[in-house]
Amino acid sequence: MKATERRIDTRNGRIRVSDTEGQGLPLLFLHGSATSRKVFERQCRPRLLEKTRILALDLPGHGESDDAPDPDTAYTLIGLVDTIEEVLGKLGIHRLAVFGWSLGGHLAIEMLARSRAVEGILVAGAPPVPPGLIGMLRGFQPSFDLMLASKPNWSQRDVERFEHNCFGHHGTTPDIHNAVLRADGRLRAVFSQSLMRGDGHNQRRAVLDAEVPVFLVNGVEDPFIRRSYIAGFEDPSRNCHVEFVDGAGHAVFRERPEPFNAVLEYFVDTVLAHRPVRMPRVASSS
């Protein structure tokens, strides 16, 4: 992907952004915990680039972005979305679609709930759950490995378990492994507590009430989510689509990029078809 690399100053530190620029639909990629924007390298294909202006950023505490100076505020659900919206404002982006994976999926849903700027979301590996512990248990499969998402300090075994559970038998690249080692572990603890508290909007309600396209795309073998819970959101009459991809786990977009990218392109086409027609401004005569 040919992209302009930027570092955007925000109240929560400098954020690294890759931007293909162009005139297409702005499409923002949001990565999961302990990874980076480079995890999406298999999505930047020519057909998609013909239709979209792809932006991918490293969240605070990840990749080439700074660790946040005030992690207890910046690493919450609300704090992370505040940072993303600050970056978009400085880039002059006022309408966009969002693809979020895992933690990034929860951020995408919160963005949808609080801003009419979002014209559609595609979420992978992040069930839209109601607030609180009971709500989370409806969408997630409780397990020891899921608890890694809230553990601030990882042992070597923890790193290996995380990489195996996220990327399956396909393994990781050096870029991904380095991103896992670099990530600020404080974010895992703060964000998990924020989600447990029910910060932000009711994510289940946000998806059910959405007036723009919502796609939920997951691997059949994802060890963290309840498939039956995700399946209940299917409602094509309201442009809410659920897809399960065989032979993939948590990082469906990396493990099975071809079928995933076909769904991603269909999502973009659906958003473009759903966009309201904006009349050109006519200069007033004096």
pTM (two decimals):
0.94
In a domain, 188, yes or no: yes
In a domain, 9, yes or no: yes
Residue 103 three-state SS: helix
Taking only the tens place, the pLDDT of each residue in 104-136 is: 999 999 999 999 999 999 999 999 999 988 899
In a domain, 87, yes or no: yes
Which is nearest to 127 in space by CA: 111, 98, 106, 150? Answer: 106
- In tens digits, the chain (286 residues) has pLDDT values of 588 999 999 999 999 999 999 889 999 999 999 999 999 999 988 889 999 999 999 999 999 999 999 999 999 999 999 999 999 999 999 999 999 999 999 999 999 999 999 999 999 999 999 998 889 999 999 887 788 889 999 999 999 999 999 998 666 889 999 999 999 999 999 999 999 999 999 999 999 999 999 999 999 999 999 999 999 999 999 999 999 999 999 999 999 999 999 999 999 999 999 876 554 444 444 3
In a domain, 286, yes or no: no
What is the extent of the structural domain holding 79?
A: 4-273
Which one-letter amino acid corresponds to residue 70?
Answer: D
In a domain, 283, yes or no: no
Q: Name the pairing type of β-strands 214-219 and 118-124.
A: parallel
In a domain, 255, yes or no: yes
CATH number of the structural domain spanning residue 190: 3.40.50.1820
In a domain, 278, yes or no: no
* Strand residue runs (E) in the chain: 4-10, 13-19, 25-30, 52-57, 96-101, 118-124, 214-219, 240-245
Tally of domains within the chain: 1
